[in-house]
Amino acid sequence: MSSSGLGGLNKSPNGIVVGLVQLQNPDVSTPAQLAAQAQRIAELVGKARRNNPAMDLVVFPEYALHGLSMSTDDAIMCRLDGPEVAAFKAACVEHRIWGCFSIMEHNPEGNPYNSGLIIDDRGEVQLFYRKLHPWVPVEPWEPGDLGVPVCTGPKGAILSLVICHDGMFPEMAREAAYKGAEIIIRTAGYTAPIRHAWRVTNQSNAFQNLAQTASVCLCGTDGTFDSMGEGMFCDFDGTVLVEGSHRPDEIIACEMRPDLVREARIHWGVENNIYQLGHRGYVAVKGGASDCPYTFMQDMVRRAYRLPWEADVRVTDGTSCGFPPPERHYKR
């Protein structure tokens, strides 16, 4: 099993050091505030590099740029070719480090997307993702349309990004791992009531997929909402390697070992669950059963997903949180 390598102070040849920034929860409502927050994030990229010369990747939480206002004001929405992303790219190049960032993305066809991107140390976007599962009924974002992408990161590690509520769905981490992800990054803006669920899902997402997870929330208050920080790294057996505190702007670090993930995925027999999902009972039948016995999967493919209690569900739009009922249907 791996250890944290004392946050990368004892970096192994096969390790990559990841830093999680428990960013102070910002209050952003104007273009000027947006520009100032983008600059602050760029400066914290430099802090991460100075803080830990061995760091390979620095991760900022969801809402790091926009805060928790849930504003869909187009004046503060971002574009991939806009100045905020350009500032992030420049910071990664200047400080020779990979970065993971959050933006609320302009969408000419409807509500904005809640998007994340991973930028390499040459300033190139290696992964771009739109949140598949907005935190309904609180969040107004358009459901993502890019699936669950992965990319090759530092030292050849296969990375994926899921955002906040995404991590509550075991299918999300499973999809990331099925595509090869060895380190599943989860960025969030969660507040204290979600603390227990945050912890157990970060651990279960790791164990169920023989993956390592690196997860971080915003931290501190914006004067209205209190975010919890609590960055955490989990090993592929679900063990917590490193945990953060509730201190805003603290950067916690851990050496991740994707080489040990690969070893476990190849050599584990007992509890190699992501393999065994598609090879049921291989002791009894050659190669195991590879059918799909799960009704919910079959129904989703047919776009016929329906719960036995579907007709009784009371919260099915955002009106309880002040949003008007939507009139558009999802198009894909």
Q: Annotated catalytic, 131?
A: yes
* Helix 195-209 vs helix 170-178: crossing angle, to nearest 10: 30
User: Of 78, 84, 92, 131, which residue is the catalytic one?
Assistant: 131
Please, which residues bridge with residue 158 across strands?
152
Contact between residue 122 and residue 309 where contact means Cβ atoms under 8 Å apart: no
Phi, psi of 124 (to 5 degrees): -100, 135
In degrees, rounded to 5, the angle at the alpha carbon of residue 325 between the alpha carbons of residues 217 and 129 is 35
Intra-chain end-to-end CA distance of the chain, in Å:
42
Catalytic residue status for 62:
yes
Residues 6+ apart with CB under 8 A from 64: 21, 23, 26, 37, 41, 101, 102, 187, 218
Q: Are 21 and 261 in contact (CB under 8 A)?
A: no
DSSP lists the bridge partners of residue 187 as 163, 216
Catalytic residue among 62, 84, 230, 255: 62
Establish whether 155 is a catalytic residue.
no
Interatomic CA distance for residues 144 and 146, integer angstroms: 6
| Active-site residue, selected from the candidate residues 78, 92, 164, 234 | 164
Active site residues: 62, 131, 164
